[in-house]
Amino acid sequence: MSKATEKLTFIDLFAGCGGFSEGFLQSGDFEAIAHVEWELPMVRTLRNRLIKKWDHSEDDSYKHVVHFDIQKTDELIHGNWSEDSRKIYEKSNHNEVIESGLKGLVGEKKVNVIIGGPPCQAYSLAGRAQDKNSMEYDYRNYLFESFIKVVDAFKPELFIFENVPGMLSASPGGIKVTERIYNTFSEYGYTIKKPENLTEAVQTASDFGVAQKRKRVIIIGIRNDVVSDGLSLKNIYDEIDNQKSKKEVTVSQIIGDLPKFFPSNKLSRINGRNHSHKPENKNLPYDDSMWPRFHNKRDVKIFKEWVSKEMNKKPMDLKIKFYNELLEKNSNHAKYRNLEWDNTSQTIVAHLYKDGLMFIHPDPKQARSISVRESALIQSFPFDFEFIEKMGHNFKMIGNAVPPLMAKKIALSISKVYKNSN
């Protein structure tokens, strides 16, 4: 176990743009050995963050953010990539990683913690509702097996497995995911909460100062041979509870002071993007992440009416009637929802890359959906975190991320229990 004066080390799997990593680094108690992600826009964003914020050289960022498909787990761990893998990934990775894999990258270092959240679509209730087989045959149901293989290869004292609450009821192949996870980790020598107790592992981001009602299952595992009176699941979960705040942070507190963008009668085109809105401050420097997406006149009208009439607070039948009358449809669903200044936000989701109908700005005069920067701030990404990809990719990576502030509080909990157990 690491000495109290040393930083603990971690590997981040399914790293995305680095929300989980960002929180652990912000804690000041952890250093990252590797981040593994296969979607290149996310890889580029995370590398950029490590360079701009965490003092990595460009060479180090290529070395430590590994662009690779974790399903090829043996290649990822041991290197000696196949010819097919080399063709796909060689240009986006450091040669040392290709030759020696994570084993070579870790070297003689000890891995204290492995963190990660496999893609959650196959576990989410929304995902299962949209699939005729309830995602039973979706490969993403089994990505936790790749997570387990990496854990087994490095045998950290702890791991943190993050996912959506829908996983608690998912049963691909007729076997509950929670039972698969519990049994498999038990076989590999780790203690986690029993399946029937995993509801206790559901955490809400707003409890940690994030302006968002985002619920996630945080499964913590401890290697059996290091479990003690000091280092125990109870102590870690109790310390996580101690990190929670009693006062919720509202949307107004997070984005209320940002520049305003109002509908424009004249279409403008800046940096290759069409804009339906213009900033209140004509001298505002252009920042792609701050500007809202383009909205047609019909949507602008609907957004303004929806917020002005406080449709969020109306019964569902009136919401559906509003939707159908304005769009001349016959739907059983109302596809609009706005954020409210004095409340926390609903869960920021990756679907934002398609449209912002469920994330209408709370100011009716602005009549728009939230911007990339606003969604990132609601997710608790720092203002200086740069989202450098196209808007769709940026929304997707933000929606899929672990809120950094929530991750930071979890990291602080773990480091405190470590220190107290030494």
Q: Are residues 195 and 256 in the same domain?
A: no
Mean pLDDT for 267-296 is: 93
pLDDT tens-digit series, residues 309-344? 999 999 999 999 998 888 888 888 888 999 999 999
Question: Quick check: 258 and 211 in contact, CB under 8 A?
Answer: no
Name the least confident of 143-147, 151-155, 219-223, 403-407. 143-147
3-state DSSP assignment of residue 247:
coil
Find the domain containing 280 and state its range.
251-385
pLDDT tens-digit series, residues 47-60? 999 999 999 999 99
Nearest residue to 15 (alpha-carbon basis) of 122, 268, 40: 40
In a domain, 393, yes or no: no
CA distance 365 to 271: 25
**Angle CA 287–38–220, to nearest 5:** 100
Q: Are residues 236 and 284 in the same domain?
A: no
Q: Are residues 350 and 411 in the same domain?
A: no
Q: What is the reported pLDDT for 170?
A: 78
Q: What is the reported pLDDT for 142?
A: 56
Mean pLDDT for 145-160 is: 94
Structure tokens at 247: 């006062």
Mean pLDDT for 216-235 is: 96
Q: What is the reported pLDDT for 176?
A: 83
Q: Are residues 320 and 413 in the same domain?
A: no
Q: What is the reported pLDDT for 74?
A: 95
Scan for tokens 């010819």, then name that residue: 83
pLDDT mean across residues, the chain: 91
Q: Are residues 285 and 331 in the same domain?
A: yes
In a domain, 85, yes or no: yes
3-state DSSP assignment of residue 215:
strand
In a domain, 335, yes or no: yes
Q: Which phi-psi region, left, alpha or beta, contains residue 115 (left: φ > 0; alpha: ψ -120 to 50)? A: beta
CATH code for position 181: 3.40.50.150
CA distance 366 to 362: 8
Structure tokens at 233: 């699941």
Residue type, 94: H
In a domain, 197, yes or no: yes
Mean pLDDT for 292-319 is: 95
Q: Are residues 227 and 308 in the same domain?
A: no
Q: Are residues 83 and 208 in the same domain?
A: yes
pLDDT tens-digit series, residues 182-193? 998 999 999 999
Residue type, 97: V
Name the least confident of 81-90, 175-184, 210-219. 175-184
In a domain, 302, yes or no: yes
What residues pair up with 12 in beta bridges, in sequence order?
35, 115
Q: Are residues 33 and 122 in the same domain?
A: yes
Structure tokens at 244: 């929670």
Q: What is the reported pLDDT for 392?
A: 96
Q: Are residues 180 and 317 in the same domain?
A: no
Q: What is the reported pLDDT for 232?
A: 97
Q: Are residues 304 and 404 in the same domain?
A: no
Total count of domains within the chain? 2
Name the least confident of 129-138, 236-245, 405-414. 129-138
3-state DSSP assignment of residue 240:
helix
Confidence of residue 5 (pLDDT cuts 50, 70, 90): low
Q: Are residues 304 and 232 in the same domain?
A: no
In a domain, 394, yes or no: no
In a domain, 381, yes or no: yes
pLDDT at residue 125 tops 60: no
CA distance 311 to 98: 54
pLDDT at residue 133 tops 50: no
Q: Are residues 52 and 128 in the same domain?
A: yes
Name the least confident of 98-112, 319-333, 405-419. 319-333
